[in-house]
Amino acid sequence: MIGDLVKHHQLKGLTYLQLIDSLGEPSNYGEPDGTIRYLIVEDFESDIDPVHGKTLDLTLGPDSVVTSYEVSEW
């Protein structure tokens, strides 16, 4: 699903409000570098600490418009 989103939908140029309207509330709030993060998947093993995850990271410019994005795995 994330592949379809980044391939077929224009994310760059969306305003913050358009982004929230399309994708919902982000997983993080108030990052100092202007990054909005959507958690795609998070895997756990036997304890409460996640061992793997994937996020959609969007960078907002000073006018609250998406300037770049990337899918990150950790």
5-59, pLDDT tens digit by residue?
Answer: 777 778 999 999 999 999 999 988 667 778 899 999 888 988 888 888 999 999 9
* Chosen CATH of 2-73 out of 3.30.310, 3.40.50, 3.30.1450, 1.10.3280: 3.30.1450
Place of tokens 């305003």: 15
pLDDT greater than 90 at residue 65: yes
pLDDT greater than 90 at residue 69: yes
Give the residue extent of every domain in the chain: 2-73
Report the residue count for the chain. 74
Beta bridge partners of 43: 52
Residues 6+ apart with CB under 8 A from 29: none
Return the ∠ at Cα 34 (arms to 24 and 64), rounded to 5°. 65
Q: What is the reported pLDDT for 30? A: 63
